[in-house]
């Protein structure tokens, strides 16, 4: 539960109709204006009977000039922060290359988590950090016009942080007294400024890299990943981490023995599992195992099933990341990642149709699957693979290899989703059309350009590669842990 030391009721904004009559019309209008601007507090369920408090702003409650002001203020905080971080996939790629060059020495992984990261921010301390950064910015050689503009933003932000942070619970208004609350428009940017300051203070040694060290330091909001080739360095990281008061040791793990820390050889970080021995990266099992209907995030206001499907089964709903799609671990692993990704998308498609559609309507959405998954999602995977492949490696593929796997994944899911069984014959037809690796060979395009026109004609040698045929034969079942939707009312 949320305790009284975290929120307290604002009586002046929580008055009933009878109490409001004591005020004049202007005062009542002012109170109403403030109440309407206050975001509503929601409690999102978490594992272990816990909840996450998060505020949500009323749709359409902000005017255009307010949105512009927020955008400008966020740009101000980003400039004030001044640090541009490289993406995890780029940092890990460099680490992997150096690790191979040094004959694969043992690496030490630490995955850490800060509990209640937003709520643990001390606003007075945050304000002093921003003030210090602002003073440094004003003493820089930036244009005077920009300095004056940022001075106004600083003054407004300072006033904002000194004001009570209000949230709505039912019809009552409460003050959020400790730290920041998740969902507040400035919380991510402010917490980044706050924790970046302490990163430099606590982890100054671990942030520095040298040519003779293998090291990676990443923090994303409240999650840390530290990789080093020195066990003493890993110990010192954990010691530095303990300076935080809100370390969640139940979610902190390492691939070496350390008192009070969970030992694991497979480290989970931001939806990916890192094998600490081979440095192979896979999707974390909780992304795809178990009933996927609980991971799709259905809402009560779904008006357009087409749009909902696009956002869940296409590129926006299924992550295509170079951490997974690269040739560092061999081509067979790449094809397994492709199949896994397509199975996730296909399982989402069948689950959504089972929940939102009648069986007679389902066939109408098969063309959407073709467009979003068999074409766009497959093209996205190809783009990432070609962009990140090694210079001396060849990726011999046919576009139909991807199309075939996309329909094969849907065929496997539709067979195991009772309400989608009627789609199986139509899916089998699409499987047959794209099956140039096992089926009867006929002329077609192996690569197409952005306009959908033939760029390279297919050849029988590449289409029916013996080594690829042996890999494809293993894709006769859904990956372990997949569960298709079973409609209990059928």
Contacts of 147 by beta carbon, 8 Å cutoff, 6+ apart: 137, 138
Report DSSP letters for 168-232, one per residue. Answer: EETTEEEEE-SS--BT-TTHHHHHHHHHHHHHHHH-HHHH---TT--EEEEEETTEEEEEES-HH
**3-class SS of residue 282:** strand
Q: Which long-range contacts (CB under 8 A, 24 or more apart) does 145-151 make?
A: 150/76, 150/79, 150/80
Is-same-fold flag (88-118+191-269; 284-483)? no
Summarised one tens digit per residue, pLDDT across range 220-256 is: 999 999 999 999 999 999 999 999 999 999 999 999 9
pLDDT higher than 50, residue 346 = yes
Tell me yes or no: is domain 284-483 CATH 1.10.357.90.
yes
pLDDT higher than 70, residue 32 = no
Please give the Cα distance from 141 to 392 (Å, whole number). Answer: 46
Domain 88-118+191-269 fold: Alpha-Beta Plaits (3.30.70)
Please give the torsion angle defined by the CA atoms of residues 444, 450, 451 and 454, in that order, rounded to the nearest 10 degrees.
-20
CA dist list (Å): 304 to 153, 345, 361: 40, 19, 14
pLDDT higher than 60, residue 20 = no
Contacts of 83 by beta carbon, 8 Å cutoff, 6+ apart: 196
Please give the Cα distance from 428 to 421 (Å, whole number). Answer: 12
Give first-to-last CA distance, the chain, whole Å.
Answer: 39
Residue extents of the structural domains in the chain:
7-82+122-178, 88-118+191-269, 284-483
More confident residue, 304 or 474: 474
Bridge-based pairing of strands 272-275 and 40-46 is unpaired
User: For residue 457, what are the β-bridge partners?
Assistant: 445
Predicted confidence at residue 247, as pLDDT, reads 93
pLDDT band at 40 (very low <50, low <70, confident <90, very high): confident
Summarised one tens digit per residue, pLDDT across range 411-432 is: 999 999 999 999 999 999 999 9
Please give the torsion angle defined by the CA atoms of residues 473, 477, 480 and 483, in that order, rounded to the nearest 10 degrees.
160
Predicted confidence at residue 24, as pLDDT, reads 63
pLDDT band at 35 (very low <50, low <70, confident <90, very high): low
What's the chain's average pLDDT?
86
pLDDT higher than 50, residue 313 = yes
% of residues, the chain, pLDDT over 70: 88
Token couple for 51: 């909840």
pLDDT higher than 70, residue 127 = yes
pLDDT higher than 90, residue 191 = yes
Mean local confidence (pLDDT), 360-374: 94
For residues 27 and 154, the answer to whether their CB atoms sit within 8 Å is no
Predicted confidence at residue 379, as pLDDT, reads 92
Quote the pTM value: 0.87
Contacts of 214 by beta carbon, 8 Å cutoff, 6+ apart: 95, 98, 99, 102, 105, 107, 227, 228, 229
Predicted confidence at residue 171, as pLDDT, reads 73
**3-class SS of residue 336:** helix
pLDDT band at 490 (very low <50, low <70, confident <90, very high): very low
pLDDT higher than 60, residue 1 = no
Summarised one tens digit per residue, pLDDT across range 73-94 is: 898 898 888 777 788 999 999 9
Predicted confidence at residue 300, as pLDDT, reads 65
Kindly report which listed range (41-55, 264-278, 329-343) carries the lowest average pLDDT score: 41-55
For residues 76 and 157, the answer to whether their CB atoms sit within 8 Å is yes
Q: Is the dihedral of CA 398, 399, 400, 403 positive or negative?
A: positive
For residues 221 and 269, the answer to whether their CB atoms sit within 8 Å is no
Predicted confidence at residue 68, as pLDDT, reads 86
Q: Which long-range contacts (CB under 8 A, 24 or more apart) does 452-459 make?
A: 458/398, 458/400
pLDDT band at 393 (very low <50, low <70, confident <90, very high): low
Mean local confidence (pLDDT), 200-229: 92
């Amino acid at each position: 539960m949320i305790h009284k030391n975290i929120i307290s009721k604002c009586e002046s904004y929580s008055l009933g109709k009878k109490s409001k009559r004591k005020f004049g019309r202007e005062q009542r209008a002012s109170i109403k204006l403030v109440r309407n601007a206050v975001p509503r507090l929601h409690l999102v369920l978490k594992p272990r009977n816990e909840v996450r408090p998060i505020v949500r702003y009323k749709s359409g409650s902000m005017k255009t000039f307010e949105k512009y002001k927020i955008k400008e203020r966020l740009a101000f905080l980003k400039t004030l922060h001044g640090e541009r971080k490289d993406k995890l996939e780029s940092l890990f790629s460099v680490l992997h290359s150096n690790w191979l060059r040094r004959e694969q020495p043992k690496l030490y992984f630490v995955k850490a988590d800060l509990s209640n990261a937003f709520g643990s921010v001390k606003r007075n301390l945050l304000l002093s950090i921003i003030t210090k950064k602002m003073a440094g910015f004003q003493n820089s050689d930036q244009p005077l016009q920009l300095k004056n503009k940022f001075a106004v933003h600083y003054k407004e932000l300072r006033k904002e942080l000194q004001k009570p942070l209000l949230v709505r619970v039912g019809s009552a208004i409460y003050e959020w007294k400790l730290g920041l609350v998740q969902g507040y428009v400035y919380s991510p940017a402010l917490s980044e400024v706050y924790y970046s300051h302490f990163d430099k203070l606590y982890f100054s040694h671990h942030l520095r890299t040298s040519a003779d060290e293998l090291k990676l330091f990443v923090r994303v909001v409240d999650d840390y990943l530290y990789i080093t080739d020195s066990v003493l360095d890993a110990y010192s990281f954990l010691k530095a981490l303990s300076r935080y008061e809100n370390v969640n040791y139940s979610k902190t793990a390492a691939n070496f023995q350390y008192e009070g820390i969970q030992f694991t050889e497979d480290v989970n970080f931001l939806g990916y599992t890192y094998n600490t021995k081979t440095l192979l990266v896979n999707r974390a099992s909780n992304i795809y195992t178990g009933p996927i209907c609980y991971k799709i995030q259905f809402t009560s206001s779904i008006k357009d099933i087409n749009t909902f499907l696009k956002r869940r089964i296409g590129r926006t709903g299924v992550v295509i990341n170079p951490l997974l799609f690269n040739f560092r671990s061999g081509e067979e692993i790449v094809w397994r990642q492709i199949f896994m990704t397509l199975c996730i998308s296909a399982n989402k498609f069948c689950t959504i149709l089972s929940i939102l559609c009648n069986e007679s309507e389902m066939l109408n959405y098969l063309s959407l699957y073709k467009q979003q998954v068999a074409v766009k999602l497959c093209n996205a995977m190809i783009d990432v693979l070609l962009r990140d492949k090694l210079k001396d490696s060849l990726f011999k593929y046919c576009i139909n290899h991807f199309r075939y796997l996309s329909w094969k994944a849907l065929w496997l899911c539709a067979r195991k989703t009772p309400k989608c069984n009627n789609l199986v014959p139509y899916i089998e037809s699409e499987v047959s059309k794209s099956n140039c690796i096992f089926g009867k060979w006929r002329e077609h395009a192996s690569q197409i350009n952005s306009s959908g026109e033939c760029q390279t004609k297919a050849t029988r040698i590449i289409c029916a590669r013996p080594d690829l045929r042996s890999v494809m034969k293993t894709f006769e079942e859904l990956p372990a842990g997949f569960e298709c939707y079973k409609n209990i009312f059928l």
